[in-house]
Structure 1
Amino acid sequence: MGFSNLKIPKICEQCEKPFEAKTMTTRFCSHLCADKNYKNRKKKEKELKEREKVLEKYVDKIAVLQLREFISVGEAVILFGISKSTIHRLIKRKVIRSVNLGERLTRINKLELEKLFSPIIIDEKEKQESELRKKYKKEDCYTISQVSEKFGANPSTVNRVIDKFKIPKEKIGNFVYVPKSEIDKIFIGK
């Protein structure tokens, strides 16, 4: 039996490192990566089956919960898929209101939880500001320290002016950049 002299450059599907395969069907660089991939696949399949079982078990309960206005913490866990501790933390921070009717009888308004999961609508002004931020290049911007040196202002004063006049700023690495044109208008105008 002869050996193949083929060396096909490939990338391992598990560790994503390059290796040379001897066949076209090789997917992993080693047996270890193949075993890890197999275990991960089986784990995901098991989790998926468990989720399906939970859904089948609670289908009737979920249907009933959809009609009720106030639900318990356990029912919120089933309905929204968040942990009990998260719900209790939201109650403690007063993000959502609750009524405690006795030991283990905390009730939550379902609409308040639904509001937490509703999509966030971005105003047109915020869209325009984010577009403005994208227009400026790094060469056309000052850092906060450059502004304070050039105009002899305290960095905290510069930050307050930037916030007050809603000047677009962007943090890149350790520095905050603001457009030169906007800063010059404000500080030279004063």
Structure 2
Amino acid sequence: MKNSEDEILTRENCYSINELKNIFKTTRDALYILLKRKGIPKIKIGKEIFFDQRACDQLYKKWILPKDPSILAKDKEYNTKLALKPLDKKDCYTIRQCEVKFNDKRSNLYSFFDRRKVPKVKIGTVNYYSKIAVDRVFKSLKRGDGQ
């Protein structure tokens, strides 16, 4: 298989799923979903699957690292202060509403919100996330500041 630069994929220019777990700091299942959704080129050698290093590095820079690391720190600080106030269900989005708003999968949003310490309350089996914090993060993404 060839990657986006028409270079033939080999073990030397690919990451294993275990290497990617360490880089992305997430689960194997979440990685497979993300890599498949983003169409990252892959090869299979024996029983193991390897993913194009260049494409994975670009994905990491685009989706995992904030463009400005201070943005993530500011989000965490703001949300930590916001979490000190009691959170009411009517002032929150469900994770389903967040999926629609961000046009992203819940597994990605859970880790995205967790990294930014978005205040949440769990009622039964449903997670509710602070509208104030979610809207703030959404606006910064639209401006191109974060993620």
User: TM exceeds 0.5?
Assistant: no
Which structure has more relative contact order (CA 8 Å, sep 6+)? It is 2
Larger radius of gyration: 1
TM-score (norm 2): 0.38
